[in-house]
Every structure is written in C-alpha cells, then in structure tokens.
Amino acid sequence: MTYFATQNALYKLFVRCKDIEEKIFLKRNIRYAPRKIFVQSIRMKNGSRGLPVVHHSKYVCELPPNHRFPMGKFPRVLHFLIKDQVISEKQVCTPSLASEELLGGVHTKQYLDNFIQGKIPENDQKRTGFPWSEGIVRRCRYETGGTVLAVEIALERGLACSTAGGTHHAFPSFGSGFCLLNDLAVAAKHWMGVSPTRRKVLIVDLDVHQGDGTAYIFREEPDVFTFSVHCGKNFPVRKQQSDLDVSMDDGMEDKEYLETVQAHLPWLLESFRPDLVLYDAGVDPHWEDELGRLRLTDNGLYQRDLYVIDTVVKRGIPVATVIGGGYSKDIDRLALRHSIVHRAATKVWKQQGM
Ligand SMILES: [Zn+2]
C-alpha cells in the first residue's frame, strides 16, 4: 500500500472553520438543529420520513448494441430497492436537468457547447468510451442534477443517496473513462457558491479507480479535500494528485481494505472539519467486477459503506452518496451490488432515528 499527500493537503487540513454557530452546534451535539424548519417542509412535500433516494428514469439512454458500459443498471438499482422493501416509492425524489450555468461552475464553456451540440471531436469521444448522442447528453445532465439534489437534501435531512453519479474521471475541458460531466465537482462547487458562509467539502472516493478529474479540479481549492482509495495498477494510468491518495495493491481483500479506510476517515474528519461529505461508493473493488483488481465481497462492501456513512453521520455532518463504478454483464447482479450503499444508508438512517 502506498500513500500520497500533496503540499496543499497539509494546508487544507490546518484551515479550521471559525464559524461560531457551528462550534456551539458541535459542542451541544445537536444534529441538524439549525435546519429543522426545512426538514419539516421537505417531509411534508415528500410525504415520507424514510431515507431520501434520488432517481430519474432518464438516468439511462440507448447505447450501440454490445456496448460494454452496463447502462441498464440504473433503473434496476431502484427496482431492487423497492422490490426488497428497502425503500418505498414515496422516498424517491426526482432531480432536474443540470443547467448549463450549473455545469459552467466546473466545465469550460467550449467543452459544454461542444458536448451539448454534438461537436466533440472523434478522438475525444473515444477517450470517453461513449459515442455522442442527444440521449447521452440528457442522461449525464440528469445524473449531475441528481447529485446536486442529493446534496441539497442531505444538507437538510442529514443523508441522501442517488441511484447514479460518481463520474469522477471528467475534467473541466474533456471527458474520460465513461465520465462526461463531473457530477461530484459540480455539486460541491454549486453548494459552496450558494452558501452565504464559507463551507468545506470532503470527497471520499472509494471507487476502485482514482478520482483523477475531481482531484485535478480541486487541486488548488482549499475548501475541498479529495480523498481517493483506489487500486494503483488500475485506470487511469497517469494519476492526478488527490489531497490524499491511498494506492492499493492488486488482490486486496475485505479486512485489509476496511482497516485502511478506518485508519484514515476519522482523522480526516477531525482535521479538515468538513460541512458536507460526498461519498462515491463505487462497487468496482468487488472480486467479480470486470474492471476492478481487488477482491472485496458483498459483505465487505456493505461493511465499508456502513462504516463510512455511520462515521460521518454520527459527527453530525451531512452525507450525499453516489453509486460510482461497477462493471458486469449480469445487470441484475450488478444493480443489487450497487444497492448495497442504499441498504447501508437505510440502516444508519433507522439506527440514528433520522
Ligand atoms: Zn471505477
């Protein structure tokens, strides 16, 4: 295992939030108290007191026959959550399409114009793994809107989970590795931009691939800390520098993986003191994954997700989760695996009486 931290990371960790209200809030250990009014209003609108799950039927689009991206997984994640009575339909919140203005917080105008109008050069399209289509543009914009909504709901209710998101390989001016818009970066920047006071975001990226696009976007942003645990020999070949990178060797199993996450998350939360955690719960570290090189089991993923969500929620910090990567030709098996994070979040939601 190898650790990398940037000079910037040291600076970011010593920047403490001086918000007095927050200090009182933390000392009294009252969770989400300042936002109680909003909590009530969302409950009434939503009609449910359960874990909010963000989903849109347009998270999917047509792909050429035999395309290797498992596009069909998104509606199946929701299908299994409802079928297995993990959630009810009342808990589902529908996002809007991310506007160009919202996306412009992270992506260059030229890239967005080319992407939306279908003018991405062929070589750039190859790098993304997707041929351009109107459907893919719409899909990515709904997916990004979904992550933005999950953040907004998490800030009011403490926890919210999308059934898509985690497109961490997208850079400001190009897409890469099945990622066209960086939803994590767009959501983080949007919230920081609309907040009246200074806010800090910790991005916990446990997808098996390094969150290179996100690391690049926030390399000089003191209020966002990027933490990536990934397989060192996996894509991308040329890594960027996250604020903290933990590079795993091939074949790592549940116990050592979980111990690694447990060794870092608490001190990061204590030192950086984020106001929000964005959690990319990619399931590609699973032993059966077609692109991963680690050996986690279903239970290992469940313990990982439970640990991350529980640790953050117990500190009174809102968490929004995205599903990240996962690759299998067996769509239902894969969708069930992606639903692990929602099952873990549901358990925390109930245990904490949220
Ligand atoms: Zn991945």
Q: Which residue has the higher pLDDT, 7 or 274?
A: 274
Does the N-terminal peptide bond of residue 236 adopt cis geometry, omega within 30 degrees of 0?
Answer: yes
CATH of the domain at 299: 3.40.800.20
Tokens of 234: 């996996």
Strand partners, 183: none
- For ligand 1, the distance from its centroid to the CA atom of residue 284, given in whole angstroms, is 6
Confidence bin at 103 (pLDDT 50/70/90)? very high
Confidence bin at 190 (pLDDT 50/70/90)? very high
Q: Taken in order 313, 322, 97, 223, is the CA torsion positive or negative?
A: positive
Amino acid 4: pLDDT: 72
Give per-residue pLDDT as tens, 217-226. 999 999 999 9
Confidence bin at 6 (pLDDT 50/70/90)? low
Q: Taken in order 239, 318, 188, 200, is the CA torsion positive or negative?
A: negative
What's the angle, vertex CA 260, arms to CA 332 and CA 286, rounded to 5? 15
Give per-residue pLDDT as tens, 226-254. 999 999 999 999 999 999 999 999 999 99
Cβ atoms within 10 Å, residue 308: 24
- Say if residue 91's pLDDT is above 90: yes
**Is the Cβ–Cβ distance between 57 and 131 less than 8 Å?**
no
- For ligand 1, the distance from its centroid to the CA atom of residue 109, given in whole angstroms, is 27
Q: What is the DSSP string of 110-135?
A: HHHHHHHHT---HHHHHHHTS---HH
Pairing of strands 92-93, 224-231: unpaired
Domain extent at residue 18: 2-351
- For ligand 1, the distance from its centroid to the CA atom of residue 73, given in whole angstroms, is 15
> Which of 13-27, 107-121, 180-194 is predicted least confidently?
13-27
Give per-residue pLDDT as tens, 283-337. 999 999 999 999 999 999 999 999 999 999 999 999 999 999 999 999 999 999 9
Give per-residue pLDDT as tens, 12-59. 775 443 433 343 333 333 333 333 333 434 443 456 789 999 999 999
Amino acid 10: pLDDT: 63
- For ligand 1, the distance from its centroid to the CA atom of residue 107, given in whole angstroms, is 21
- For ligand 1, the distance from its centroid to the CA atom of residue 167, given in whole angstroms, is 9
pTM: 0.90
- For ligand 1, the distance from its centroid to the CA atom of residue 229, given in whole angstroms, is 11
Burial of 100 (0-12, 13-18, 19+ CB in 10 A): middle
Tokens of 69: 């991206």
Amino acid 49: pLDDT: 87
- For ligand 1, the distance from its centroid to the CA atom of residue 181, given in whole angstroms, is 15
- For ligand 1, the distance from its centroid to the CA atom of residue 80, given in whole angstroms, is 22
- For ligand 1, the distance from its centroid to the CA atom of residue 2, given in whole angstroms, is 19
- For ligand 1, the distance from its centroid to the CA atom of residue 230, given in whole angstroms, is 9
- For ligand 1, the distance from its centroid to the CA atom of residue 290, given in whole angstroms, is 10
> How far is the C-alpha of 146 from the C-alpha of 130, rounded, in Å?
20
- For ligand 1, the distance from its centroid to the CA atom of residue 196, given in whole angstroms, is 34
Closest CA to 162 of 47, 279, 330: 279
- For ligand 1, the distance from its centroid to the CA atom of residue 321, given in whole angstroms, is 15
Q: What is the DSSP string of 171-209?
A: -SS--BTTBSS-HHHHHHHHHHHH-SS---EEEEE-SSS
> How far is the C-alpha of 141 from the C-alpha of 152, rounded, in Å?
17
Domains contained in the chain, number:
1
In angstroms, how far is CA 70 from the centroid of its own chain? 18
Tokens of 230: 């990934």
